[in-house]
Every structure is written in structure tokens, then in C-alpha cells.
Amino acid sequence: MAKARAALEEARALARLDMWDGAVSRAYYAAFHAATAALVSQGVEARTHAGTHDLFFRHLVAPGRLPRALSKDLAALQRYREQADYSASVRFAADTGADEVDRAGRIVEAVASLLAADPETT
């Protein structure tokens, strides 16, 4: 979870500087690293981002251990991250960027709570 928390703090720092594309990109990585930490706690590791998303859903969301919305949020964050990093025509504004940083924060906190409270995590 250390990487997730660090990426979330980086996203928030970039947001404070009104650097919204960077904030959105780091927000995705905060959520991605949280999902990875949750999977590792289950003894599962993915090799790709798509694999992480699939396994996150299969091992944590589908069984009801985390809300379905988090899987959708992770996918949305990845789409926005790709736009922020690769699209020459997309620039994130404060309202959308702040929403995405908040979305990542919800994922990080949900996973942190699961890891702290769930006796099934290793």
C-alpha cells in the first residue's frame, strides 16, 4: 500500500499546483497500486494492467469483498490516465481532475480498510 499512498499524495500535490493531467495520471497509479496490493494479499499477482483489473474484479469485487463501483472506477481512471498521458487534444480541467483524484482516494481507502479488517487477507 505504500506505493498506492505515495502515488495518491503525488496526485494531490499536482492538483494543488493545477497540474491536472499529471494529477489524473498519478491518481490512476494510486488506484492501480492499491488493487495490486489487494491482490498480493490474496496470493495473486497479475502481469499486466488489464490482468490486474480482471483479477481485482474476480477475486475482490465479484465475491462482494469490495463494492462493484470500485472496479468501474479503476477502469475509468485507466481511460482518463491514457488520455492525460497520450492525447494531444485532451487537457483535464480542475473539476474533472479533482473528481478523479477523489475517485482514486476512495479506492485506496477501501483497499486499506479491507487489508486492515479482513481476516482472509494474508
In the predicted model, is pLDDT for residue 110 greater than 90? yes
What percent of the chain stands above pLDDT 90? 95
Identify the CATH homologous superfamily for domain 2-117. Nucleotidyltransferases  domain 2 (1.20.120.330)
Q: How confident is the model at residue 64 (pLDDT cuts 50, 70, 90)?
A: very high
Contact (Cβ atoms closer than 8 angstroms) between residue 33 and residue 41: no
Q: Residue 82: what are its φ and ψ, rounded to 5°?
A: -65, -40
Contact (Cβ atoms closer than 8 angstroms) between residue 102 and residue 27: no
pTM: predicted TM-score of the whole model, two decimal places: 0.94
Contact (Cβ atoms closer than 8 angstroms) between residue 53 and residue 74: yes
